[in-house]
Every structure is written in structure tokens, then in C-alpha cells.
Structure 1
Amino acid sequence: MAITTIGGSNRRSFLRRGATAAGASLFAVAAMEGLSIRAANAKDGEKDRGCPDNGGYGELRERTRTDPETGFSQTLWLPEDFDFKVFAVAASPMRDGNRTPLAHDGMACFPTGRRGEWRLVRNHEERNDPGAGVPAGSIARRYDELAGGGTTTMSVRWDRGQPHFTEAWQSLSGTIVNCAGGPTPWGSWLSCEETTAGTGAGWAAEHGYVFEVPSAEEGEAVPVPLKAMGRFVHEAVAVDPRSGVVYETEDQNTAGFYRFLPNVPGDLAEGGQLQMLKIADEWNYDTRTGQRSGKGLYVEWVDIDDPDPADAEEDPLAVFNQGWARGAAVFGRLEGCFYGDGAVYIASTSGGDEGEGQLWEYRPRGHKGGTIKLVFESPDAALLSYPDNITVSPGGNLILCEDTSRDLPAMRGLTRDGEIFPLVYHEGRTEWCGATFSPDGKVLFANMQGATRGELGDPALEPGRTIAIWGPWSMGVL
């Protein structure tokens, strides 16, 4: 089977392919412009303007499906003529003899070179204490012998009008709290640890790093912490396919927005310079409240002299504080991050005057700086609450995963006119995360996180699981 690789030819050619990839994301920018319109209307009192006929998909209907491997049954509310499958449930066996870890989270879908065959690389935000639960993967490839997190890779194919799960295996082991990350233009997944815990907390290794997982890997990747990219409470990343610059978000109430300038674009292990965003001519600008949608702010970047500080475990803000001392800006809980048409879009989950979330656009202008502007701020939880993962639909609109504790967690569609509507929801409180479309746009894959702590296979725990959703996307706006 021809699998996308991260060999020399792919690394050398990704910049040439960047312009094409960027052009494919023009629709994402249109949807973000719609958000700006919605924000303006909301301030004029139109907070309840919904999307007609639920985005064209009509009333959501209840249906139940069961994972044949584990017998786990799932009920979802979906549009008419849509269907779903549940697979790769936590504790289910994988081809390498390991069991699927807890806490399904960030994820991306990669082509394999064969039509209708894809690979999903999926994070596991496992939060057990050192040595508790089931350590992930093989001892020989485990970054930390006491850790149960990492990534799994799944093989999926489209046949006879529906997706079929083929097999799964451990692809990164011995890391912890692998929350989000992002795909690279050269066919790998960057998995991020959302913690700076280390040996002081009883672990066998230091944590708080980014790890690269080739989607083509047939087994466990060599776990190399990319220390130059920073040791902090990571969330997501987005790679500019034109320059190779990697943008990184930090998931804390006091958070920075970072960029990593690699010494060799496409080869992150060769090191580089970590920097933090600063608003030009402003010292320690606070983006969390008092912002105006659509107002452009000029940006510069300040160097982080020590991206891997010795005191990061005791002080998770050790990297942030270096940028703060040079006047860098502060954000509230930066989570989702993606690249589209020359810009990077980031979700501030708790930002805004109401604390319900913001979406920002950063557009680089040359090497030294650029502009950032607020494109949306939720005026109330009923419209949008705690936006997290973001993905682009086949029709050029957006799907948002809400990181919220409200009942009936949802994935919501967002139109270019700034109208938001529920696409799918379920009863319970486990969050949706890791939404990603297959390369041909037929299938929306997403994770339901489940328990992040506990004994793997414990029937009292809600298991993480991966969901595949498909149907007539063209009947509506997505």
C-alpha cells in the first residue's frame, strides 16, 4: 500500500505545495468573515438569529449504533439520512497486542495514496498518576516507562457506501496528557502534552513537549521530545505550508501565542527559535476582555531565550513569563488552531467579556510581524460556548467542537453568514474533540473523549470512542 511518508522528497516539496493547500482553505476565511458579521449583529441585539432549517439538514433524529468489537452502544441525534459508526473504543484490543488507551482527543486524517483508504492519528489525554493504569506501548519505545498516554493510528477504508475500520496500533507511547496538536504538510501528526509535570511528580521523564508521529509509521514512532518548541502547557499547533513556521497555543487562563521558526523548514528536530506574540507599541496587552471585533492590531515577536527551562515543572508559566517580561500579550485559554489562506486562526476558549470564547485571526506580514484581529466573540452561551477544535467542511463552512460542561454537548456548524446550528449532539457531558474530515470530504471523524483517569476497561468508566459520520452533506450548507 502506498502510504504518505515524511521522507526527504516530501519534506523538500511541502513548501512548493503550500500555495495549493492554502488556496483550498479560502472557504475557511469566508466563514470567519461570517463570524465577524455575526458578532456585529449580536451587539445590535440579534443574538438569537438561527440558521434556517438547521443549516438545510432539518430536524435531528435519534439513532443508536453498536461497536461490534466491544458491544458498546452509542445514541446520537443526527440529520435525516445521515448515519454513523462507533469504533476503536477505549480498552478494545489492537493489532499489536496493546489495548486502546483512555481519553480520545485531538486527531487528524491522512491520505494513504490509495483511493478511499485513510489513516487517522489520534491523541489520548490520559491523566492517571505515574504507574497507574496500563502503561502504553512497548517498553523499548516508551518515552516514560510509567506513562499511559500517547497516540494510536487507525486504518479506515471507504467501501460500499460507508467507512470500515480495519485495524489500530500504538504509534506513540509513554507520553502524558496528549490533548491536541496538528497535522503537518509533510504527512505527520504533532502530538502535544498539556502539562509540564516531570520527575518531581514521580514520572520517569520530564514532560511538556511536542512529539512528531509519522502517519506512515507501521508501529511505534521513536519518541523524540522537540524541546526547542518549548516546554509549557501545550494545546494545538498549525503549520504555515508556505514558510514552515509552526504556530502553537497554550491552554491556561494566562496564555501566550507562540511561533517556532525551524532552522530547517520541514525538519523540526533540527531546532529553531521559539517566539511569543507581542502587540506592537503595547506592553503586556490583554486580549481577554474589552476587544472590538474586526480591529487589526500590529504584531511583533519576542524571543524566548530558554524554551526548556529547568523550573517548568514547578512553574508551568516559566516559558510564558520570559515573553511577558519582554512585553508579550496575554490570551485566555488558547485551544483550537488552524491555518487557512495565509492566516492562522486560534480559539480562545474562555476569552471575551462574557467569558464564552473568542476566535482570532493572525496574518503574517513578512518575517518580523503581522496583524491580529478578533473575528468573533460569543455574546452568550446559547450561541456558542467555549469553542475548541475547529475543522473545515466539504462545502467550505466550519464545524466547531464545544469544550463545555453543559448538557447535550454538540458539534456545531458555522456558515459563511455567521449562523451557528447543531449538527450532532448526544446526552451526557463528555466533550466532542478531534473533528476531522476524510481527504475526499465523505466522512466526518470525531472523538468522544470519555474518562481521562481510571483503570482501563473498568465498566464504571465512560470509555473514549471514535465516531464516523457520513451522509448527504450537499443537502445543507456544510
Structure 2
Amino acid sequence: MTSNYNRRQVAFGLTGIAFGGMALYAGTIHALGHKGASAAKATASGYGPLQADPDGLLDLPRGFSYRVISAHGDRMNDGLVVPDNCDGMGCFRLDDRRIALVRNHELRPESLKDGAAGKAGLRTGEAYDRLGSGAALPGGTSTIVLDAKSLAVEDQYLSLAGTIRNCAGGVTPWGSWLSCEEDVSRAGQDGLSQDHGWVFEVPVAHRGLARPEPLRAMGRFNHEAACVDPATGIVYLTEDRDDSLLYRFLPAERGALAKGGRLQALALTGAPADTRNWGTLDFTPGTWATARWIDLDGVDSPDDDLRLRGAKAGAAIFARGEGIWFGQGEFYFCCTSGGKAGLGQIMRYRPSPAEGQAGEADAPGTLQIFIESQDRTMFNYGDNLTVAPNGHLIVCEDQYTSVVDNHLRGVTPDGLLYTLARLRTQTELAGACFSPDGSTLFVNLYRPGKTLAIRGPW
């Protein structure tokens, strides 16, 4: 298990977090979403210029450091190994001393060698689906239990098995991780015995493999991520397709998603239904549109046409909805290839005071394009994102070109962008999330999979 600090001689900062505590480094920082401005090339970063990492992995501003706490191939406490393709992730407080990370592994059926049990595949324990050989599909989640102060790994184990391409997901206020399949394979296809394209719930307090029960009422589609409004228990879901929808799940019982509920899709009133702005600027960044929600039926969608039927009924269309995270009374989500330049957008949604209830139409929710990039050096293919304790967004870039490295980008509540980190190896950043006390940002490197802990003067 890799657990050494990197060689930069900088101390972890444990300063308190407050919005006013971050001083933007003198230089050119550009507002994209607040007034709908176009991006221009940035010349500085929010915490100062990046310092070259002597280990050649992750450049950070002075005063910040990272630690690799887990990596693909590390032996876990259950005897298995850490799977590869580390993607979405959430952090939870277990007790006064310990925290836990639940981490997705975006693995396909043909990727057994990259899974927790290697080429032979997992043969024992609960798994949602198995190949004809008896091996569980390698997709799923792993859980890391850490000492909250030292970040020492105390336990590590596989926590969901038998799924496909667990891409992102979301934390719940009741202590579980929603793991989403970005795949719509059908039973009988390539030796599969189950339909795929579901959300699975992984209770953080349960050690070992969670019961792999698909939350069918939350729809079958190319799931990406989820977030829960802590005030209402409503779940919002993104879909990674060029013509995706934004979904809302109204649970029959708060905190009991397996008991079913209603699935809806977002529509807009007085604004273009197509938010992608491909070719023309139809939906101006910074302006607010009024929301309404359309009931969906046939959410098990055997023909993978849920988004098509929703759009036909008037639902808004988004360009590859990906990471989504709830902040203070509103949530944000990335549209990876949205915008006139195709470099990405960040949407912001403010729920109605009567969200999902009678009277919602009298004071509806609203949607805004918060960020739309015109310059890849400022923002390029945002994927997973999180809301920091100071209200800033931290966005993981996911692009594979030889022109620009992937970065962690910061966005202030006013729409000012800055660069927080630069990844020096060609893979995507994913799974950004903060520890409950706000002192540590955790992030994944997708492949070869690594989980990093970043501390500094937040």
C-alpha cells in the first residue's frame, strides 16, 4: 500500500475554511458564468502559481501537498486488491475519529484482470451479475476507512460487486453512496444474466459487500451521477449522453429509495429546450430560466429510449450531463461537451421552496448556465465536481489530448475561475470530495488508479 507523502517539503495547512479566507493571486482571472462572459487565457491561479512536483505527478500551489493513500493493486483487508479505473467518490464521517471513502470502479465485463480478484474474477459473496464462468462482473465500489487526522488507512475492502462501469454517483444525507452504472447492456448480451443501467445504494456503515439491489424506480439509462437535497430528500440524476436529460426522483419515503417513487425530467419555460448552445448561442450564460418537471413512465426503458421519450414530451436537452453536487440551497452539474466551443458548461439549479410539492408551480425552480467555456486553457471538459466548504466549486477535467493537461479547476461563487492543480500524467481526474471537517480534498486518478489526499491553506 502506498502511503508516503510526496517529497515536496511543504506542511499540511489546517486553517479554517471561510469564503473570505481565499485571496485570489494577482493576475487575470476571468468570470464566465456570472455575467455570461467568454473565457480568455488565465495568467494566474487562485492560490498562486503552481509548483512543479518533483515526483512528476501533481503540481499544486505553494503550501499544498498531496499523499497517495490507495492505489490499484494494493492488497485490501478482505484479501482482494484495489481495482483499477477509479472514478466517482464520496467521503463520510463514521465516528469522532474515523472517516470513510466509497470509490467507484468503472470496469467493463471484459476487464476482469483489472478487478479486485484478477483474471479469475470474484467467485464468492454477493454480486449483482456474473458471467457464465461464475465470475462476478468487475465493476463496483471499494471502501477505504481512514483515521481522520493522520489519514492512515485502517481498513479497505470491496463494497459492491457484479456491476458495469460504475462511473460517478453521489452521497446521501443518511449515510450511503449511490453508485451509478454508465451502461445499458441487456440480459442475454455477452453472457450477462441481468439488465444494467441502474443505481445501487452502498451503506457506508456496512463492512463488506453490500446487497446489490438495483433501484429500478430511479430509471434505467446511461447514469452518471446523483445528488440529494438534504432539505427534501429529492434525488437529482445526470445522464452521460450527447442528448441527455436531467432527472428528478421523488421518493415515496424519504431516505428509503428502494421503496420506489416518481421519476421526472426537467423542462424549461420561456427558454430554449436545447441548452447545449451548439452552433448558436440559444441559452445565454448567466440568465435564469424557469423550471417545470415532466412525469416519466416506463422508466425501466428496455429500449434505452427514456431520454428520447422525455425530450419528445418537452424535456430540456443537455450535452453529456456528468458530475453533480449539492451546495447551499442549490446544486451544480457539469455538461462535459456543452457550449458553443464544445469545451463544457456548468449548470446551476435552485429548487423551488415547494420543490416536488403542491404549489411548486407558483414559485418554480430556476436553471442557469453558470459557466460556459470558450478557452480550453481555462476550462476543458469538466466531469466530476464538488462544492468546497467555502462555496467554491472544484471541478475535475476529463480530456485526452496532447495539447493541454488535465487540471483541477476552482470556481468562486461569482464565477471566477482559477487553476488548483495540474496532473502531469495522461489520465483523468475524478471523484473530488472533501473530508467532513474541510481540511482534506480527496481525488482519484482514473488509470492506473490512485486515490490522493490534498491538504493546504484552504
> Which category describes the TM-score, using the shorter chain as reference length?
0.7 to 0.9
Distance 1:393 1:325, change over 3 A: closer
Q: Residue 140 of structure 2 aligns to a residue in which SS?
A: strand
**1:58 positional shift:** 3.8
C-alpha deviations, 1:101-141, integer Å up to 9, x for none?
120000011001123x2100000001242867647655330
**AA in 2 matched with 1:87:** I
C-alpha deviations, 1:369-421, integer Å up to 9, x for none?
42212112112212111111112334432211111113422112223453323
1:223 paired residue number: 212
Do the aligned partners of 2:125 and 2:209 also contact (CA within 8 Å) in 1? no
Do the aligned partners of 2:322 and 2:333 also contact (CA within 8 Å) in 1? yes
Do the aligned partners of 1:49 and 1:419 also contact (CA within 8 Å) in 2? no
* Aligned 1:293-372 pairs, distance under 5 A: 293-312=285-304, 318-365=305-352, 366=354, 367=356, 368=360, 369-372=364-367
Q: Distance in 2 between matches of 1:306 and 1:82?
A: 49
Q: Residue 141 of structure 1 aligns to a residue in which SS?
A: coil
Distance 1:215 1:46, change over 3 A: closer
2:372 paired residue number: 377
Q: Residue 426 of structure 2 aligns to a residue in which SS?
A: coil
Q: Distance in 2 between matches of 1:264 and 1:168?
A: 32
1:38 paired residue number: 32
Distance 1:411 1:130, change over 3 A: closer
1:464 equivalent among 427, 446, 449? 449
Q: Distance in 2 between matches of 1:384 and 1:130?
A: 31
* Structure 1 runs of 4+ with >6 Å offset: 24-27
1:149 paired residue number: 139
Q: Distance in 2 between matches of 1:298 and 1:395?
A: 27
Deviates more, 1:197-206 or 1:244-253: 197-206
**1:294 positional shift:** 2.2
Do the aligned partners of 2:146 and 2:152 also contact (CA within 8 Å) in 1? yes
Deviates more, 1:88-97 or 1:134-143: 134-143
2:382 equivalent to 1:390:
no
Q: Residue 53 of structure 2 aligns to a residue in which SS?
A: strand
Q: Residue 217 of structure 2 aligns to a residue in which SS?
A: helix
Q: Distance in 1 between matches of 2:449 and 2:111?
A: 20
1:242 equivalent among 231, 235, 247? 231
2:72 equivalent among 72, 86, 90? 90
**AA in 2 matched with 1:152:** S
**AA in 2 matched with 1:121:** V
Distance 1:46 1:321, change over 3 A: closer
| Runs of 5+ consecutive residues of structure 1 not aligned to the other structure | 1-23, 65-73, 313-317, 451-462, 474-478
Q: Residue 85 of structure 1 aligns to a residue in which SS?
A: strand
**AA in 1 matched with 2:53:** E
Do the aligned partners of 1:98 and 1:169 also contact (CA within 8 Å) in 2? yes
Q: Distance in 1 between matches of 2:317 and 2:121?
A: 35
Distance 1:78 1:261, change over 3 A: same
Distance 1:281 1:78, change over 3 A: closer
Q: Distance in 2 between matches of 1:89 and 1:131?
A: 17
2:103 equivalent to 1:127:
no
Q: Residue 274 of structure 1 aligns to a residue in which SS?
A: strand
Distance 1:235 1:25, change over 3 A: farther
2:417 paired residue number: 420
**1:76 positional shift:** 2.3
**1:49 positional shift:** 4.7
2:41 equivalent among 38, 48, 60? 48
2:267 paired residue number: 278
C-alpha deviations, 1:231-280, integer Å up to 9, x for none?
00000111011111100000001100000010001100000111111123
1:266 equivalent among 229, 252, 255? 255
Q: Residue 108 of structure 1 aligns to a residue in which SS?
A: strand
C-alpha deviations, 1:286-337, integer Å up to 9, x for none?
110022122221221111111102223xxxxx11122122111111000011
C-alpha deviations, 1:25-79, integer Å up to 9, x for none?
999xxx9xxx994346774x7723544xx32344413133xxxxxxxxx632222
C-alpha deviations, 1:414-443, integer Å up to 9, x for none?
234533232222322100000111111121
2:433 equivalent to 1:436:
yes
Do the aligned partners of 1:42 and 1:379 also contact (CA within 8 Å) in 2? no
Q: Distance in 1 between matches of 2:36 and 2:284?
A: 13
**AA in 1 matched with 2:179:** S
Q: Distance in 2 between matches of 1:286 and 1:93?
A: 47
**AA in 2 matched with 1:56:** Y
2:53 paired residue number: 62
TM-score (norm 1): 0.80
* Aligned 1:167-246 pairs, distance under 5 A: 167-202=155-190, 203-246=192-235
1:10 paired residue number: none
Do the aligned partners of 2:248 and 2:265 also contact (CA within 8 Å) in 1? yes
Do the aligned partners of 2:69 and 2:153 also contact (CA within 8 Å) in 1? yes
Q: Distance in 2 between matches of 1:433 and 1:263?
A: 32
Distance 1:59 1:327, change over 3 A: closer
**AA in 2 matched with 1:329:** A
1:455 paired residue number: none
Q: Residue 204 of structure 1 aligns to a residue in which SS?
A: coil
Distance 1:244 1:254, change over 3 A: same
Percent sequence identity over aligned pairs: 41
**AA in 2 matched with 1:388:** D
Do the aligned partners of 2:327 and 2:387 also contact (CA within 8 Å) in 1? no
TM-score (norm 2): 0.84
Do the aligned partners of 1:98 and 1:136 also contact (CA within 8 Å) in 2? no
Deviates more, 1:355-364 or 1:251-260: 355-364
| Runs of 5+ consecutive residues of structure 2 not aligned to the other structure | 1-16, 132-136
Number of residue pairs matched by the alignment: 411
**1:363 positional shift:** 1.8
Q: Distance in 2 between matches of 1:136 and 1:240?
A: 37
